[in-house]
Structure 1
C-alpha cells in the first residue's frame, strides 16, 4: 500500500474528485487521498490521551492526594510533567483534528459538482445525510463504550453529538471559527464561576448554621435546610473515605453488573442532564481545527519559519503560564480537602482563567513541532507508525478501553487501586508500543482498522472492502 508524501496539500482532497460532470456515488476516502500530517497529529493525540485516562481506569478517587503535596515523591514529578505538558492538550488536539475531519468528509462531494448535497441524488444518499448517519453511529458506539465496555471517560458519544453541531459552522470564515475558543473560554469561566459560587454559598450557609448550632441556639428551618443541602453537595462532590472505599469495592467486584453500577448514574447524568455543559469546549476546538485547516496550518502549508515562530511563542508563553498555575495550586490546594477552605476564602478562582489559554498555546506548539518534524522528514519511521495509529484511531481508542478494563476492573485481572501512579505508565508504554507495531502491520493488509471498517460500512449501509484494491497495493 502506498504512503502519502508529507507535502500533500489540502487541495489534494478538494480537487479531482469526479470524472468531469459524471456524478459518482459517495464512498469512503481512499488511501491515496489521505493527508499523512493529519493522521500523524491524530495518532499523537490518541496516544497522548491515554496518559490522562489511565489513572481513571485504575485508581481510586483522590489518588493524587497521596503525592501531590510531596515533591520528594517520584509520582509528584511524573504528575507535574503530565499536567504541564499534556493534560488537556492532547484532548484539544484530538478535537481539533476531529473538526478537520468534518470538512474533509464533506469536501469531496461539495467540490465535485455532483448533485445537491441536501437531497437524495441518483447515485445514492446525500453527503449531508451520510454525515449525520456517521455521527449517529458514533453516538451509538460511544454509548457502547461507556455503558457496555464501562469506560466512564468515553468521548465518542460527545464527539458524535457535538460533531452534528459543528457541521453547521463549517462554511464560516476561519477568523470567526477561531474566535470560538476565546469566546468559550470567557463564557466557560463565567459559568464555572457561577457554579463555584453556588457551591461556596452552600458551604458558607452551612458554616453559619453550624456556628449557631454550636452556640446551643435553635436552628431555623432555613438553617436546617442549609445543613442538609451542604451534606448532599459534599457527598456528590467531596466523597469521604467510607464512600471511596465503597466505590473501590464495587470496582474490584468480580461481578460485571456491580462494577457497572459504580459509574452508571454519573455517566448517564453527564450524557443527558449535564450534556449542555459538556458541549462548548470540544465544539470550540473543533471549529478551531476547521479554521487551522482552511489556513493550511494542519496540512503543513505554512513556511517553516512560521511554525518555528508558533512553537517558540507557544512554549515560551504557554509553559510560563501553566507552570505558574501548577505552582499556585500546589501552594493553595495541596490536596482535595484543601479545596474547601480555599473556597471559603476565595469568591472567584481567577487563576482558572489561565487554563484555556495555556492549553491552546501549548497544543499549537506541540502541533508545530510535529509538523516541523514531518516537513523535515525527521524520524520518518516513527512518523509513519504514528500515521498508522492515527488512521486506526477509532480501533486504537476502544482498544485502550478493552485493555485497561481487562487489567484493572474486578471482572478482569482485578488490579484496580493496586498499582502506584508511576507503575501505570509502564502499561501505557506497552500499549503505545503494541499499537505502533500492530497498526502499520494491519494497514499493510487491510484498508481500515476493524472498527473503522464497521463504522464506514454502517454509514454507507454497504459492506466496504477490507482488502486494498490491486491499484493501491504495493
Structure 2
C-alpha cells in the first residue's frame, strides 16, 4: 500500500480569547497557494498598469516577436488561472476563519461580516484612491458574505456550482453578446442607408447613437486611445479621471457579471478544503492523476482556443467585428471555463506534490510568507506599479515593450519574496493584515512576535 505524506492540516481548538489565528496554527499549503496566486496575479495585472489600449495589436500575430511568445505563455498558463486560484484559496480561508471559532463556541458571525465589510471599504479605497481599476478586494468582500451562507453545504454540492455557473455564465454571456451583435447589425444597416443617401428612420438614428456609445466604452478610436494615454501619463487627477469611472462601472454596472464566477470558485475552494485536496491529504498517485489529466486536456483546449481567438483574430477590431456579424453564438466561450478549472487544478496538484516531496522548501517558505502577507503584498504591487508607470510617478506608461514588463514583475516578486519572510520573523502580521484584524476585532492586535500569546 502506498504510504502518503500529509501536510499539517489539523485545525486546533481556538483559545478562549476571540482573536486571530496564531502562527503555529497556520496551514503551510494554503499560505503557499495564496502566495503563488498573489504573485501570479501580477502577471495579468501589469499590462493594465503599463500599456495603452490595443497594446497587443502590433505583435499578437507575429511569432518573430518576443512579445508574442511572452503573451502566449502568460495567456496559456496563467490568464484566469491565478484569479481562480486566489478565489479558491479565499473560499478555504472562509472555513478556516469560522471553523476554529465555531468549534470552541466563540461568536464569529458578526466578526466575519465585519471582516468582509472592511474588505469592501479597503477595495473602494484601493480602486479610487490608489487608482487601480482591477481591484478584487471589493468583490471578495461582497461575494465572501454570500459564500459564508453556503459553508455548511456538502462538498459535492459546493463543487457543482462551477459547472452550473459556467453554463449560466455562457448563457448570460451569449445574451450579452447577442445584444451587442444586434446593435452592431442595426448600426451597419443605418450606415448603409446613410451611404445610399436615404432618410434615416428614428430607429436607425438611435442605432447610430447606441453603437457610438459602445465604441466609446469598449472600442476606443485612435483619438480616444491617444487621449487615454495622455491622461495616464499626466497628473494624479488626470489618471483618476480615466481610472475612477472604469473602476466604478466594474463595481456597479458590471457587478452582477462577477458574482457567479467568483462565488462558484469560492465554494469550490471550500469543497476542496473539506475534501483535503488543498491540504495534502490525498495520495501522491491521485495528485499525479489530477496534474497529468489537467495539463493534458487543459493545455490542448487552451492552445486551441488561443490559436482560434487570439492568434488568428489578434487584437484587430475589424476581424473581431466581422466574426461577430456572422456568428450568432460564440461557442468558443464554452472552452474557457473548462480549460481554466483543469489547469488551476493541475497547478495546485503540482504545488502539493512539490510540498510533499520536500524539494525547494526554502522557496516554499518564502512563498508561504508572501501568502501570509497577501493583503499587504497585493497593495504593495499596486503602489509599485502606479509609481513606476503612471504620470505622477516615473511615467513609464506606454514606454516599455510588453516582454519588458516582466522584468518589472520579476523585480517586484524578488522584493516580496525577500521582504515577506524577514518581516514575519519579527511580526505576527503584515502591516495591512494587522490593521484589518485590529478593525475586525475592534481592538489593537499584538504585532511583534514576542507579544503572541502561547
User: Which TM-score tier does this pair reach, normalised by the shorter chain?
Assistant: over 0.9
Return 5+ residue gaps in structure 1 as ranges: 1-5, 19-23, 116-125
Secondary structure, counterpart of 2:449 in structure 1: coil
Structure 1 residue 71 corresponds to structure 2 residue 52 = no
Deviations 1:280-324 (A, max 9, x none): 111110000000000000000001000000000000000000000
Deviations 1:210-244 (A, max 9, x none): 21222222221211211222112122111001001
Structure 1 pair 224–95 and aligned structure 2 pair: CA distance change class (3 A): same
Report the Cα offset of residue 37 of structure 1. 0.6
User: 2: CA distance between counterparts of 1:331 and 1:280?
Assistant: 29
Per the alignment, residue 202 of structure 1 pairs with: 183
Per the alignment, residue 21 of structure 1 pairs with: none
Structure 1 residues 4-403: aligned runs within 5 Å: 7-10=6-9, 12-13=10-11, 15-18=12-15, 24-112=16-104, 114=105, 126-253=107-234, 255-337=235-317, 338-403=319-384
Q: Which of 463, 466, 469 matches 2:444?
A: 463
Report the Cα offset of residue 370 of structure 1. 0.3
Stretch moving more, 210-219 or 255-264: 210-219
User: 2: CA distance between counterparts of 1:78 and 1:266?
Assistant: 27
Per the alignment, residue 120 of structure 1 pairs with: none
User: 2: CA distance between counterparts of 1:385 and 1:197?
Assistant: 47
User: 1: CA distance between counterparts of 2:240 and 2:258?
Assistant: 22
Deviations 1:404-434 (A, max 9, x none): 0000011111111111101100010011111
Deviations 1:76-116 (A, max 9, x none): 1110000000000011000000000000000112112x26x
Per the alignment, residue 385 of structure 2 pairs with: 404
User: 2: CA distance between counterparts of 1:240 and 1:213?
Assistant: 21
Secondary structure, counterpart of 2:57 in structure 1: helix
Deviations 1:236-294 (A, max 9, x none): 111001001001111111x2111101021121121122211111111110000000000
User: 2: CA distance between counterparts of 1:258 and 1:212?
Assistant: 40
Does the CA-based 8 Å contact 2:61-2:312 persist in structure 1?
A: no
Does the CA-based 8 Å contact 2:373-2:420 persist in structure 1?
A: yes
Does the CA-based 8 Å contact 2:60-2:311 persist in structure 1?
A: no
Per the alignment, residue 419 of structure 1 pairs with: 400
Per the alignment, residue 123 of structure 1 pairs with: none
Superposed CA RMSD in Å reads 1.4
User: 2: CA distance between counterparts of 1:272 and 1:462?
Assistant: 32
Does the CA-based 8 Å contact 1:389-1:435 persist in structure 2?
A: yes
Per the alignment, residue 422 of structure 2 pairs with: 441
Does the CA-based 8 Å contact 1:9-1:301 persist in structure 2?
A: no
TM-score (norm. length: structure 2): 0.97
Return 5+ residue gaps in structure 2 as ranges: none
User: 1: CA distance between counterparts of 2:131 and 2:323?
Assistant: 34
Which segments of structure 1 move beyond 2 Å, counting only runs of 4 or more? 6-10, 15-18, 469-473
Secondary structure, counterpart of 2:307 in structure 1: helix
Report the Cα offset of residue 469 of structure 1. 3.2
Report the Cα offset of residue 206 of structure 1. 1.1
